[in-house]
Structure formats: C-alpha cells, structure tokens
Amino acid sequence: MRKNLNYVAMLLFLLCSAAVAHYLSREGDRERVPPRVSLSEFPPQFDEWRQVEEQRLGVGQARELNADDYISRAYVNNRGLAVFLFIAYYTGQRHRQTFHSPQNCLPGAGWTMSDHELRNIGGSDANRINEYIIEKDDAKMIALYWYHGRGRIVASEYLGRFYTITDSIRLGRADGALVRVLAPVGKGDDAEEQARQAALDFARKLTPMLSNYIPD
C-alpha cells in the first residue's frame, strides 16, 4: 500500500512540475524582479569568516547550471575551520532554467548522501534547512542547503516549487536561489561535530546578509 501511495505522490509531483514549468514559461515576460546587488559583491570577510579562495565554473559547468548569477568561495574562521559556499541565483524559473537539486548533483558527482536532518538557523521553524553527511573516496563533509528567495528559507524541493507557482501568480515573481554550504570533516573523535557547528555558524551569519543579493 505504501509503495502505491509513494507512486501516486510521485506521479502527482511530476504532473504538477510539468504544469508549473508550462505556466512559468508563459509568465516569464511579466516577472517583476526587485533591484539586487551582484553576488560578486558579496563581502570577502564577515564576522570571523574570511574568504581564502574563489572558484569559477568551467564553460560546460556554467552552461549546465544556467544561472543568472552565482558565487563559489572558500572561507575559514579564526579556528582554521573551512567551509565552501555556493549560491546559484535565477531571476526566473522556466524550462531549463531552474534550481539543480543537490540530491541529483552531488550523487551525480560521485558523492553518497546519508543521515538527513533538518536544522533550524533562525528563530522559528520557518528557517529550517537540510543537513546531510556526504562522502566520496576518503573525503567526508557536512552539507547544508536550502532554497532562498522572496523572503523565504525553504528546505523542501516540493514546497519550494509550490511557492514558486503561487508567488508567480500573486507577486509576478519566480526569482530565487539555491544556497549550499559544505564543511570538510577532519580527523578525530569530535571532527564531525566541529564541522557541523562551523557550517551552522556560517549559515546563521550568512542568511541575514542575503536579502541584498537575493531579494525578499
């Protein structure tokens, strides 16, 4: 019975996704995106976190991502703990231009994902994000990600798609971003918890700054 219910739910999601994509493709010319600052202007240092590296995607990767703006940087804190920040921003979400779920991209790059949790990075349950442990060969990281835009932080892909269509109708907007924070896990008994706390600390200090780059 559960298998049948899961099949029906997935079928309904696919049908709704197709309807959303069709609707958004027709609404694209009417979207009203507020002014924003380019992600390239995001500060290289805030609180105890400072940028140590910036990466650019290759031509093929950028084409596949198809984002209107993105940032990919490494930051370290005063304790020497590192995080990798990736944000992909879209002014609208239409056919072939929408968020790429980490649940597809990370396994596609050879990473396994396990131990899913929802973490609160704000004052209410509305500010919950995804946490996974990801592993590849001898590397292990804490991965946080969420969908950000139009004044919301959303963990669920399904809920994110729902808000996309309702906001497109109500506000004439379908802009938003995928935000991902990765923290490498070092060696030692407490290394995983140290990485987790570093990633969460970074995410909590990051989110209040994002409205300039990802409009509310």
Q: What is the pLDDT of residues 3-17, one digit of tens each?
A: 454 554 455 555 555
- Asked whether the predicted pLDDT for residue 27 surpasses 50, the reply is no
The pTM (predicted TM-score) of the whole model is 0.84
**Do residues 117 and 128 lie in contact, with contact meaning Cβ atoms separated by under 8 Å?**
no
Domain count along the chain: 1
Tell me how far apart the alpha carbons of residues 99 and 161 are, in angstroms, rounded to a whole number: 10
pLDDT tens per residue, range 102-158: 988 899 899 999 999 999 998 777 789 999 999 999 999 999 999 999 999 999 988
- Supply the range of the domain harboring residue 184: 2-212
pLDDT at residue 2 tops 50: no
pLDDT band at residue 78 using 50, 70 and 90 as cut-offs: very high
**Cα separations in angstroms, 209 against 43, 86, 111, 162, 215:** 9, 15, 30, 25, 11
Mean pLDDT of 28-49: 87
Would you state the pLDDT for residue 8? 46
**DSSP assignments along 156-189, one per residue:** -HHHHHHHHHHHHHHHS---EEEEEEEEE--SST
Reply yes or no on whether the pLDDT at 89 is more than 50.
Answer: yes
